[in-house]
Amino acid sequence: MVERVLSGVTRVLERGGVCIVPISPCGVMFDLVEAVCAASLQNNHNIPMYFISDFASRVMELTLLGAEWLCEEKIEKLYAGEDAFLHESLLKNNLFHAVADVSAASAATLQNGSILFVGHPSLKFGRAPELIQMLGNESRNAILLIDPSVEPTEAFAPFQDLEIEKIACSIDPRLSCGDANQFIARCSPHNLIVPYEYIIVSPTSAVERDDMSSHFSRVLPLHEIITTKSKTELLTFPMKQFEPIVIEKASKYLDGRLDPKLAAQVTITEVNGKTAACVSGVLNVKRKAFVLAPFPAALVTPPSSSMSTGSKSKGLGKRKASLITESDSSSALQSINYQEKSSLLLGQVDEDKLMKQVKTHDPQAQVYISRGQGDTDVFMNIPSLDARITLWKETGKTLVETEKEDARALLTSFILAQLVVITQG
């Protein structure tokens, strides 16, 4: 596909024409820039290329975002301080230009041959129609329609009277079902979400029972693609319109440590033979080490409220938190939303102890205890107080239901008596 485009570009440039390439600012454009540059060097030509868009400069700035998704070769160049993309060096050498409007591309350059990347691929709006009208009376110039989603006949229809050459040579970056199966096999995921239409066996394959045809005509389930044994079950989720997909994923915890200065400021509380403390700080990441440090006094002076994070003592703990690097801490701290002080409750509510507390308060009270439904552990009913208590022990959640505020306060005091309360300081 790319070879066809390069052949058309070379033919137009050899006769001194201008190539107009309607395209969106995506990866295909940058790959095409590199391919055209390589072909130009092979032919000993230095052909100027222009990317014309109101957002051209902004797009150039965003190309390095998400560098971890680049190929290994580009990642190595990036961390070595080199240009990860060829268009960066072309920009420096004035062979590739990112401009906002057509006037920025000089008339002399357009007359001597160049390549113009413009939008929109449909030729219905954007800079492309304007440029086609400007350069359309020269037969040496050409439009190269490369977007596979655009119908060439319909797109070229408004410009049929112009002498400019019209070339349709689509570049389709989408994966075929066979390509997708090979890619999935290399990645070896545990879960796969795929549109329902892509996993249906076509009627031809179903009749012929041709496994090879089925392999290329649909995306196979994970258990058919990945033959090696896995510790976890391989699940394939067909994606249908308006139907939610739920994937269970275990939480990931990372080891971290407390900064000594922050550790010296905390108040330790004993909980069932262990110690715990409530701390507030900034999570710094440096060389894959996670350190919870105090707020920089020069940047943030918390008022009577602060953010809190529960943490076991000993300076080490497994925490789940969003990460802030040292370079970003200054700007991130500016937008911290301080909340009101709250208390951290540690421990577990025991239904037998709770029943004894109720009977100690009122010996005549009847307490009925039963197993709850679903993920509910314990359900308690206290008719004399017209109250119901539900305990979820695994998640540490307790629900008190009653219309009497005095009964609610009484039961709350019984529950808190079984827990350790750590107030933020």
> 394: domain CATH number?
3.30.310
What does the pLDDT read at residue 70? Answer: 73
Pair 39, 155 in one domain: yes
Q: How confident is residue 204, by pLDDT bands cut at 50, 70 and 90? A: low
Domain span at residue 353 reads 346-423
What does the pLDDT read at residue 152? Answer: 92
Could you give the 3-state DSSP secondary structure of residue 192? strand
- Mean pLDDT value across residues 323-330: 48
> Hey, CA dihedral for 34, 40, 46, 51, is it positive or negative?
negative
What does the pLDDT read at residue 171? Answer: 87
**151 close to 28: Cβ distance less than 8 angstroms:** no
> Hey, CA dihedral for 273, 277, 283, 285, is it positive or negative?
negative
Residue 299, CA distances (Å) to 137, 194, 233, 251 in order: 63, 47, 48, 33
Pull the structure tokens for residue 176: 């075929």
What does the pLDDT read at residue 226? Answer: 84
Q: How confident is residue 306, by pLDDT bands cut at 50, 70 and 90? A: very low
Q: Regarding predicted confidence, which is higher, 336 or 84?
A: 84
Pair 226, 294 in one domain: no
Q: How confident is residue 1, by pLDDT bands cut at 50, 70 and 90? A: confident
Q: How confident is residue 318, by pLDDT bands cut at 50, 70 and 90? A: very low
The reply to whether 244 falls in a domain is: no
The reply to whether 246 falls in a domain is: no
Could you give the 3-state DSSP secondary structure of residue 423? strand
Is the pLDDT at 376 greater than 80? The verdict is no
Last residue of a domain, one of 111, 143, 168: 168
Q: Which range is least confidently modeled, 1-5, 96-100, 264-268, 371-375?
A: 371-375
Pair 15, 134 in one domain: yes
Last residue of a domain, one of 318, 341, 364: 341
Is the pLDDT at 192 greater than 50? The verdict is yes
Could you give the 3-state DSSP secondary structure of residue 51? strand
CA 38, CA 149: separation in Å to the nearest integer? 27
The reply to whether 247 falls in a domain is: no
Q: Regarding predicted confidence, which is higher, 300 or 138?
A: 138
Residue with tokens 């407390």: 258
pTM of the model: 0.52
The reply to whether 129 falls in a domain is: yes
The single-letter DSSP state of residue 236 is E
Pair 401, 296 in one domain: no
Pair 310, 210 in one domain: no
Is the pLDDT at 205 greater than 60? The verdict is no
Residue 312, CA distances (Å) to 206, 256, 269 in order: 59, 11, 10
**30 close to 23: Cβ distance less than 8 angstroms:** no
CA 343, CA 255: separation in Å to the nearest integer? 24
Is the pLDDT at 34 greater than 70? The verdict is yes
Count of the separate structural domains present in the chain: 4
Cα 249 to chain center, whole Å?
Answer: 16
- Mean pLDDT value across residues 173-196: 89
**183 close to 198: Cβ distance less than 8 angstroms:** no
Residue with tokens 């072309």: 90
Pair 161, 185 in one domain: no
What does the pLDDT read at residue 6? Answer: 86
Pair 320, 334 in one domain: yes
Share of the chain above pLDDT 70, in %: 81
Give 236's contacts (C-beta < 8 A, 6+ positions apart): 191, 192, 194, 199, 221, 222, 223
Q: Which range is least confidently modeled, 8-12, 75-79, 122-126, 346-350?
A: 75-79
**402 close to 411: Cβ distance less than 8 angstroms:** yes
The reply to whether 196 falls in a domain is: yes
What does the pLDDT read at residue 276? Answer: 81
- Mean pLDDT value across residues 395-413: 90
Q: How confident is residue 340, by pLDDT bands cut at 50, 70 and 90? A: low
Last residue of a domain, one of 168, 196, 229: 168
Residue with tokens 């389709």: 172
Is the pLDDT at 365 greater than 80? The verdict is yes
Q: How confident is residue 31, by pLDDT bands cut at 50, 70 and 90? A: confident
| Number of Cα atoms under 13 Å in the Cβ half of residue 89 | 10
Q: How confident is residue 321, by pLDDT bands cut at 50, 70 and 90? A: very low
Q: Regarding predicted confidence, which is higher, 385 or 307?
A: 385
Could you give the 3-state DSSP secondary structure of residue 353? helix
Per the prediction, the chain carries an average pLDDT of 80
Pair 34, 109 in one domain: yes
Give 407's contacts (C-beta < 8 A, 6+ positions apart): 385, 386, 387
Is the pLDDT at 327 greater than 70? The verdict is no
- Mean pLDDT value across residues 258-267: 87
For residues 158, 160, 166, 171, the Cα torsion angle rounded to the nearest 10 degrees is 40
**If you compute the radius of gyration of the chain from its CA atoms, what whole number of angstroms results?**
33
By C-alpha distance, which of 263, 188, 250, 178 is closest to 222?
188
Q: How confident is residue 339, by pLDDT bands cut at 50, 70 and 90? A: low
Give the model confidence (pLDDT) of 212-255 as tens digits: 555 678 888 888 888 777 777 888 999 998 899 988 877 778 88
Pair 259, 300 in one domain: yes
Pair 90, 111 in one domain: yes
Pair 127, 85 in one domain: yes
The CATH number of the domain holding residue 63 is: 3.40.50.10890
Pair 220, 77 in one domain: no
Q: Which range is least confidently modeled, 248-257, 280-289, 372-381, 406-415?
A: 372-381
Residue 119, CA distances (Å) to 26, 54, 142 in order: 11, 10, 15
What does the pLDDT read at residue 111? Answer: 65
Is the pLDDT at 48 greater than 70? The verdict is yes
Q: Tell how strand 368-371 and strand 96-99 pair up.
A: unpaired
